[in-house]
RNA sequence: GGCGCCAUAGCCAAGCGGUAAGGCAGAGGUCUGCAAAACCUUCAUCCCCGGUCCGAUUCCGGGUGGCGCCUCCA
């Protein structure tokens, strides 16, 4: 499989450190609020990558952290009159609720920064010992950017250019404007932990280094996140980690593009964001996943309700094909047409994998799935061989499953009232009382159900 | 100022050297009591100007128009 590596700015063959295994880390949410559609993209992208790698037979260890201690957490907790810990607990739960609905599987491990304070302190200590970091009299610890020769290699930034644009906060006792905090001394009312430099809390960048390396090792395969993390977050992670261990940190860096609103990046600071929670009130979140997968992950994509509706309609087509395949009639024997379709199935699988192998081209892979759906819809218009049908069902399930789609059945529980009406309508139809039948259909429509007359009899469908 | 991305039909979006996948919407048709679903047909020459090449949407150069990072941000 080829993946685009931000470090080399090229597509590269993915060759795992340990054959047959992939270790990957993706930056997770800061749990101070509901996450928005833009935040959801990396969750969906890296979940899809993980699913595909597993489909290809890799044993994947996938780590996605929760940042549960930082400035935003503290501010929000104060506003809410709660503790940072309680705030974190709450929004971790909320995260899971939304992520589950988006079809995002639980990571192998979801470490929390506050559960890795010891590792963080050890890492900071190592950096001080090796001369890459220094403590100030106030009890802050900074990373010395100029002590790490490779600084800027991920973002393509020249250290002197950065220097010119760097901001200096007069409160900070940095030796160099580019230096960044590894450890922040306690301020009144803030959560803190004991450390060799006095009470304090970790800086943001060091959390990810400590968590990723303590779980996946000093060198691991893939590190992912949104493009806005390239600088400074990931650049800083590399500097800290490689300065501390003297070994390469992540081997492949993957970054997803933004979700835009009217061509502008969806972000908290611009205020042009939609939380996943609020969109969930209008749409099945599976449509949001579909919407994201319609675009290759590195490209930006505009968000709008209209586009979610388009994705919803497209998804409906995929659902229908699955149902038709499930309900297909079985023929007494396999025929040549079965054999031909079976061969086509093999092609779909190959084409699907070719698309995914090309830097996770989900848009192309979806194209294959729609071709599959069309062929399958035609194929099941008459009874077919059992073995072929089963092969088709299995493959369709596998491939949609790799994309995390069609994972939950649309709720097929209809109220007794609606089912009674459906029966009445059928009786009326048999009696050729079509005006009565149509009246009932309208009635059902008002209740939120569509009626479809299929070869297997009438069916209800949620609108 | 430094670094980088993007421009394909009404909308979304693949392709990236040999005359444009797929989806949504639209049009016509088949099926249906009528619908719905499904199926068939139909719907683009790829921002502009140069260059390379037998041949460019695809490579190179220059424009134009969007966007991002360099500060918390997925």
Angstrom distance, A377 CA to B31 C1': 14
- At residue A213, the pLDDT reads 97
Cα A71 from Cα A248, distance rounded (Å): 30
Angstrom distance, A251 CA to B74 C1': 20
Q: Are A245 and A275 in contact (CB under 8 A)?
A: no
Q: Is the ipTM of this complex over 0.90?
A: yes
State yes or no: pLDDT of A391 exceeds 80. Answer: yes
- At residue A257, the pLDDT reads 95
Angstrom distance, A152 CA to B2 C1': 12
Residues 6+ apart with CB under 8 A from A46: A24, A26, A62, A64, A224, A254
Question: Going along A32-98, which residue ranges are E strands?
Answer: 59-64
Strands A2-5 and A10-13: antiparallel
User: Of the candidates A138, A141, A161, which has an alpha carbon nearest to the alpha carbon of residue A151?
Assistant: A161
| The token pair that represents A68 in the structure block | 């549960």
Cα A300 from Cα A270, distance rounded (Å): 17
User: Of the candidates A223, A204, A170, which has an alpha carbon nearest to the alpha carbon of residue A61?
Assistant: A223
Measured from Cα to the C1' atom, the residue closest to B39 is A378
Angstrom distance, A332 CA to B63 C1': 67
State yes or no: pLDDT of A411 exceeds 80. Answer: no
DSSP reduced 3-state for A394? helix
Cα A48 from Cα A55, distance rounded (Å): 10
Angstrom distance, A60 CA to B59 C1': 38
- At residue A409, the pLDDT reads 74
State yes or no: pLDDT of A168 exceeds 60. Answer: no
pLDDT band of A455, cuts 50, 70, 90 = confident
Closest nucleotide to A307: CA versus each C1' = B12
Closest nucleotide to A380: CA versus each C1' = B38
Mean pLDDT of A397-418: 88
Angstrom distance, A160 CA to B52 C1': 38
Closest nucleotide to A158: CA versus each C1' = B2
The residue behind tokens 């079965």 is: A338
- At residue A171, the pLDDT reads 59
Long-range contacts of range A54-60, CB-CB < 8 Å, 24 or more positions apart?
A55/A398, A55/A401, A55/A402, A56/A1, A56/A353, A57/A20, A58/A16, A58/A20, A58/A21, A58/A22, A59/A20, A59/A21, A59/A22, A60/A21, A60/A22, A60/A23, A60/A24, A60/A108
- At residue A189, the pLDDT reads 86
Q: Dihedral (C-alpha) A403, A405, A406, A409: value to the nearest 10 degrees?
A: 130
pLDDT band of A42, cuts 50, 70, 90 = very high
Measured from Cα to the C1' atom, the residue closest to B2 is A161
Closest nucleotide to A161: CA versus each C1' = B2
- Among A16-25, A243-252, A395-404, A411-420, the range scoring the smallest mean pLDDT is A411-420
State yes or no: pLDDT of A340 exceeds 60. Answer: yes
Which residue would you say has higher pLDDT here, A409 or A327? A327
| The token pair that represents A132 in the structure block | 């890459």
Closest nucleotide to A258: CA versus each C1' = B74
- At residue A285, the pLDDT reads 96
Which residue would you say has higher pLDDT here, A157 or A91? A91
pLDDT digits (tens, 9 = 90+) for A225-260: 999 999 999 999 999 999 999 999 999 999 999 999
User: Of the candidates A343, A294, A295, which has an alpha carbon nearest to the alpha carbon of residue A315?
Assistant: A294
Closest nucleotide to A227: CA versus each C1' = B74
pLDDT digits (tens, 9 = 90+) for A358-367: 999 999 999 9
Angstrom distance, A203 CA to B3 C1': 25
pLDDT band of A161, cuts 50, 70, 90 = confident
Q: Measure Cα distances from A223 to A57, A267, A296, A423, A435 in Å.
A: 20, 22, 18, 56, 62
Q: Which nucleotides of B are covered by protein (CB under 7 A)?
A: 1-6, 11-15, 21-25, 32-40, 66-74
- At residue A457, the pLDDT reads 85
Closest nucleotide to A429: CA versus each C1' = B33
Angstrom distance, A303 CA to B48 C1': 29
Closest nucleotide to A28: CA versus each C1' = B74
- At residue A379, the pLDDT reads 96
Say how many C-beta atoms besides its own lie within 10 A of residue A278's C-beta: 12
Measured from Cα to the C1' atom, the residue closest to B22 is A367
Angstrom distance, A74 CA to B27 C1': 59
Closest nucleotide to A26: CA versus each C1' = B74
Angstrom distance, A222 CA to B61 C1': 36
Measured from Cα to the C1' atom, the residue closest to B5 is A299
Peptide bond into A232 cis (omega under 30): yes
Angstrom distance, A351 CA to B18 C1': 22
Q: Are A243 and A132 in contact (CB under 8 A)?
A: yes
State yes or no: pLDDT of A170 exceeds 60. Answer: no
């Amino acid at each position: 499989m080829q993946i685009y590596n931000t470090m080399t700015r090229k597509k590269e063959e993915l060759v795992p450190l340990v054959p047959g295994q992939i270790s990957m880390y993706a930056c997770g949410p800061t749990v101070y609020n509901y996450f928005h559609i833009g935040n959801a993209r990396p969750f969906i992208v890296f979940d899809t990558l993980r699913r595909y790698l597993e489909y290809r037979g890799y044993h994947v260890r996938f780590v996605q952290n929760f940042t549960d201690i930082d400035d935003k957490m503290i501010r929000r907790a104060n506003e809410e009159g709660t503790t940072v810990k309680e705030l974190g607990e709450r929004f971790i739960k909320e995260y899971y609720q939304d992520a589950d609905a988006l079809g995002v599987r639980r990571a192998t491990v979801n470490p929390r920064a506050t559960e890795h304070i010891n590792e963080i302190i050890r890492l900071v200590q190592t950096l001080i010992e090796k001369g890459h970091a220094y403590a100030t009299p106030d009890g802050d610890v900074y990373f010395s950017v100029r002590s790490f020769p490779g600084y800027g290699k991920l973002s393509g930034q020249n250290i002197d250019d950065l220097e010119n644009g760097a901001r200096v906060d007069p409160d900070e006792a940095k030796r160099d404007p580019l230096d960044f905090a590894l450890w922040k001394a306690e301020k009144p009312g803030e959560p803190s932990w004991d450390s060799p430099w006095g009470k304090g809390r970790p800086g943001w960048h060091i959390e990810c280094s400590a968590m990723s390396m303590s779980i996946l090792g000093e060198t691991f395969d893939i590190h992912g996140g949104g493009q806005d993390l390239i600088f400074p977050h990931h650049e800083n992670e590399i500097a800290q980690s490689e300065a501390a261990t003297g070994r390469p940190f992540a081997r492949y860096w993957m970054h997803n593009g933004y979700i835009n609103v009217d061509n502008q990046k969806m972000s908290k600071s611009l205020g042009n964001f939609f939380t996943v929670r609020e969109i969930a009130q209008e749409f099945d979140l599976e449509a949001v996943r579909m919407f994201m997968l319609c675009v290759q992950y590195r490209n930006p994509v505009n968000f709008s309700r209209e586009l979610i509706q388009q994705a919803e309609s497209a998804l409906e087509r995929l659902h229908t094909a699955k149902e038709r395949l499930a309900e297909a009639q079985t023929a007494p024997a396999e025929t040549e047409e079965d054999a031909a379709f079976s061969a086509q199935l093999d092609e779909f699988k190959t084409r699907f994998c070719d698309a995914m192998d090309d830097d996770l081209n989900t848009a192309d892979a979806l194209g294959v799935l729609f071709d599959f759906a069309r062929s399958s819809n035609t194929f099941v218009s008459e009874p077919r061989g059992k073995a072929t049908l089963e092969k088709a069902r299995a493959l369709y399930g596998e491939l949609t499953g790799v994309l995390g789609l069609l994972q939950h059945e649309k709720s097929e529980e209809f109220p007794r009232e609606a089912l009674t009406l459906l029966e009445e309508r059928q009786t009326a139809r048999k009696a050729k009382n079509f005006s009565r039948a149509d009246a009932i259909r309208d009635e059902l429509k008002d209740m939120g159900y569509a009626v479809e007359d299929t070869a297997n009899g009438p069916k209800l469908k949620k609108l």
